[in-house]
Amino acid sequence: KACIQESYRISPTTPCLARILEEDFVLSGYHLKTGTVVICHTRVACQNEQNFRNADKFVPERWLVQVDENQNVYKLDEPGAPLVLPFGTGRRMCPGHRIIDIELTLVMAKIFQQFEVEYHSDLDTQFQFL
């Protein structure tokens, strides 16, 4: 699951999320009025060093926290989860997000059971848009 979460971070499924404010709001000192369109550019947020250390690197371990030091047991922790929104959020969230989460977890588990997976080189995360 940490690999999947890191994949969502490094290559967001949606480039941005847009919302229309339903009430006045103050954001970083800016006073925004009701009806203002606010856009979160997820790719920029997820690859910003202020939000994620080594943001240009694929580091699934960033999503794990050690539960039992003696048994080397970890659990999924999501410190940057508010910035990683592959299925949107709120009322407009993708209705299939739970199915995708289950399917991706099962597919990844099968791949790791059936194959020996090796790291070959850094991923070039710079894409060009047409």
35: how many CB neighbours lie within 10 A of its CB? Answer: 10
Give yes or no for a contact between 89 and 13, defined as CB atoms under 8 angstroms apart.
no
Q: Which residues contact 6 (CB under 8 A, 6 or more apart)?
A: 58, 59, 60, 62, 63
Q: 39: part of which helix (H) or strand (E)?
A: strand 37-41
Structure tokens at 46: 């997820």
Please check if 94 is assigned to a binding site.
yes
Distances (CA, A) of 35 to 15, 26, 38: 22, 13, 9
CA-nearest of 40, 38, 36, 37 to 14 is: 40
Q: Which residues belong to the annotated binding site for heme?
A: 94
